Amino acid sequence: MADIGIIGAGSWGTALAVLLHKNGHKVTVWSILQEEIDMLEKEHEHKDKLPGVKLPEDMAFTTDMESAVKGKDVLVLAVPSPFTRSTSHSMREYVGEGQIVVNVAKGIEEKSLFTLSQVIEEEIPQAKVAVLSGPSHAEEVGRGIPTTIVVGAKEKETAEYLQNIFMNEVFRVYVSPDVLGIELGAALKNVVALAAGIADGLGYGDNTKAALITRGITEIARLGTAMGGRFETFCGLTGIGDLIVTCASMHSRNRRAGILIGKGYTMDEAMKEVKMVVEGVYSAKAAMALAKKYQVEIPIIEQVNAVLFEGKEAGAAVKELMIRDKKLENSDIPWG
């Protein structure tokens, strides 16, 4: 049995707390919000973010960072990506040398252009930092619906240790050393999911969705490999797998926000309506900055940025994508 601290009591943190408790581990859930902790202690259910998923009576809840972090075998960092740095900074004084921190949020920090594991490593240099990612809606994981994900870590031993902690008959865990590729796939797919939602909001169909997913993963892999990620990673669960589920499901806050934008909502109005952090909005600008730095073309993500931040009409953005210069689908395939 491992002693695990879940830092962040949103839908994903709560779902993973339930999963880890079922696996026989001791679980403490931390939130910065006293009212959230009060609700969890009283109701043993996150009524707002994960309704219908009951939390066990012996699960601990706290707003005290020291008790949630100090001496734990594993820390699962499950706050929204914009709060990864500030939360990591708050954790730092309580994290021991070699203590494992598993990041489960998805995003790129806009100012530094760091992946979230890089942010954590900068703030908590004494920690062993790993990532957990893949096509995994909290609403389904919390209900025990079969799910498959990937744990990435620099050390094989760390990845395999976490594989054993998280894996069960409904939650299959693979391991990978490509932490960078995993995180880039996870962050950039949220931007493409916004595009897929916008297309849905405009009333487009399955042809459009398939095109966005296929060309979207091409953009993600193009930028990701230029940055040092492995191409195989973008063909796997944290690449095309996560992109499919995020573009297709109404569980996806990025797709839901995109639908509203396609219907004419502003970015701020859409985020307010969704009532959750829309990670793709925060990763979109960072993706453009990275594409410029690495001299990579990402036309779908570029048009999403124009709609989000420049007031471009969504239909015009789609039209511009369709009438771009003629291209080969794959420049690496020779003629004859």
Burial class (CB in 10 A: 0-12, 13-18, 19+), 322: exposed
Evaluate if pTM is beyond 0.85.
Answer: yes
The CATH classification number of 3-177 equals 3.40.50.720
% residues pLDDT > 90 (the chain): 86
Is residue 322 very low, low, confident or very high in pLDDT (cuts 50, 70, 90)? confident
Q: Which pLDDT score is estimated for 28?
A: 98
The CATH classification number of 180-322 equals 1.10.1040.10
Residue 336 pLDDT > 80: no
Give backbone dihedrals phi and psi of 218, rounded to 5 degrees, phi first: -65, -45
Nearest to 254 by CA among 267, 238, 263: 267
Q: Which pLDDT score is estimated for 327?
A: 85
pLDDT in tens, 162-202: 999 999 999 999 999 999 999 999 999 999 999 999 999 99
Is residue 119 very low, low, confident or very high in pLDDT (cuts 50, 70, 90)? very high
Nearest to 62 by CA among 91, 26, 36: 36
Burial class (CB in 10 A: 0-12, 13-18, 19+), 165: buried
Catalytic residue (choose from 189, 272, 285, 327): 189
Average pLDDT, the chain: 95
pLDDT in tens, 1-43: 999 999 999 999 999 999 999 999 999 999 999 999 999 999 9
Is residue 276 very low, low, confident or very high in pLDDT (cuts 50, 70, 90)? confident
Would you call 189 a catalytic residue per the annotation?
A: yes
User: How do the domains of the chain map onto residue ranges?
Assistant: 3-177, 180-322
**CA atoms of 6 and 13, how far apart (whole Å):** 6
